[in-house]
Structures are given as C-alpha cells and as structure tokens.
Amino acid sequence: MDAAEPDDDAPVRHRGPRLVPDVLLVLLAAGAGATEAVSYLGLGRVLTAVMTGNLVLLGVAAGAGAGAEAVRSVVSLAGYVVGVAVAARFLGGTRADDTHPWPRRVTHAIGVQAAFQVLVWVGWLVANGRPEGVGQAVLVGVSAVAMGFQARSVQALALPAGSTTYLTGTLTTVTGRLAAGGPREGVPRLLALIAAMLAGAAIGALLISTARPAAPLLPLGLTVVVFAAAMVLGRRS
C-alpha cells in the first residue's frame, strides 16, 4: 500500500490488492485495542501499545508515589523501544508500493509479533489470568515488545496518517479533513481503524470479566489471522 490513494479513474488492477491490506490493518488495530484492555485491566494499569498514554500513566504514577505502577510503565516503554528497534533492523529499508502493498518482510515481522503474543498468553495461563510481581512485569515487557513490532511493521506500509497502535494523529487527520472540507480519500480507512481499536478494547475488557483465561487469545488470534492472510496474499502477488 502506498501513500497515495487511487483516483476514480485508476484501473481496477490497482485497486484490487489494496482492499485486503486495509482489512488486515483494521484487524491489527482491533488487536491493539484488545491488548490495551488486557494490559490495563490485567497487568496493573499499564498500556503496552499506546506509548503516549503510557507516558501519561508514568507521570501520574510518579506524581502519586505509586512506585509499582511507575515501574511497570517504565518496563512497557523499554519493551516497546526494544520491539521497535529490533523490528527496524529486521525490516531495513522495506517499504510498500503499488506493486507490493504488503511486503513479505512485513508479514514475517508480524509473525514474530505473534510469537511474542504466544509467550504472553502462556505466561497469563501459568498465572491463572492474574499475574503479579515480577511475572506481571515480564508479561508487560513481552507484550510491549510485540506491539513495538506491530507499530514498526505498519510504519513500513507507508500509510498517510495511518497507524494501528496510536490513533491520536489519525483522529486529528480525520477531524481536520471533515471540518475543513479537505480531501476525503483515505478517511473511511482511518475511521475504520479508530472504530476497530475501540471495538477491540471493548471486547477485550468483556473477556477479562467473563472469560479471563482466554483474554490474551483475542489479540493473538487477530495477529495470527493477519499473518496467515498476508502469507496467502504474498503467494498470489
């Protein structure tokens, strides 16, 4: 997927492959929302995908003298940075274009993300869905590494104001375009990303209260679906 949206006169062959990557992005955004619900409600009031919010939580914890919460926020920040850095080295100069809207190396990076999410789920099950102390901090760090991989992988897709882990800029872009009468291309996808994160967070929170052991399976399952679909897409391209 490239930064420019196709116009109405573009040949169908340029439109065809774009729909699937957009759907995959929506699934990743839903997974990020679910991850945040699990991490905030189950891992000690910390965020492992949206680092802007996590920085705020760190400041609040530090100001309130909540040492344990501050430590978890620091662990999350460190894990996220590690995930982004390792993914950046792995992806190198990979960047999507019209011919390859979802590069194979991005698919492999998403596969690594899924592996880290498997570790989160296993650790969650070992702790009976209620990790504490060091185990809790470890799961925070591993979850943050996974989301760092996702954030850097999506960045390689070269989307205009598009992300699946931090959507403040996305919301600003959509609102600005709609309010100022700017270009509407890309707006449906951006709105879908926002809605998907909201839905993922809501379902994740519901799972925490009704099926706690399975809660981390939601983001993991969505990532696996994206990985599998991207593998199929890569074989057909």
Domain boundaries, position 231:
20-236
Residue 179 sits in a domain whose CATH number is: 1.20.1250
Residue 236: the pLDDT is 62
Per residue in 82-141, pLDDT tens?
999 999 999 999 998 877 889 999 999 999 999 999 999 999 999 999 999 999 999 999
Least confident of 53-67, 170-184, 206-220: 170-184
In a domain, 12, yes or no: no
Task: Supply the mean pLDDT for the chain.
Answer: 88
In a domain, 14, yes or no: no
Q: In whole angstroms, give the CA distance from residue 111 to residue 172.
A: 30
In a domain, 7, yes or no: no
Whether 69 has a pLDDT exceeding 60, the answer reads: yes
Please count the structural domains in the chain.
1
Contact 5, 185 (CB under 8 A): yes
In a domain, 2, yes or no: no
In a domain, 6, yes or no: no
In a domain, 15, yes or no: no
Whether 22 has a pLDDT exceeding 80, the answer reads: yes
Q: In whole angstroms, give the CA distance from residue 30 to residue 49.
A: 12
Q: In whole angstroms, give the CA distance from residue 229 to residue 191.
A: 22
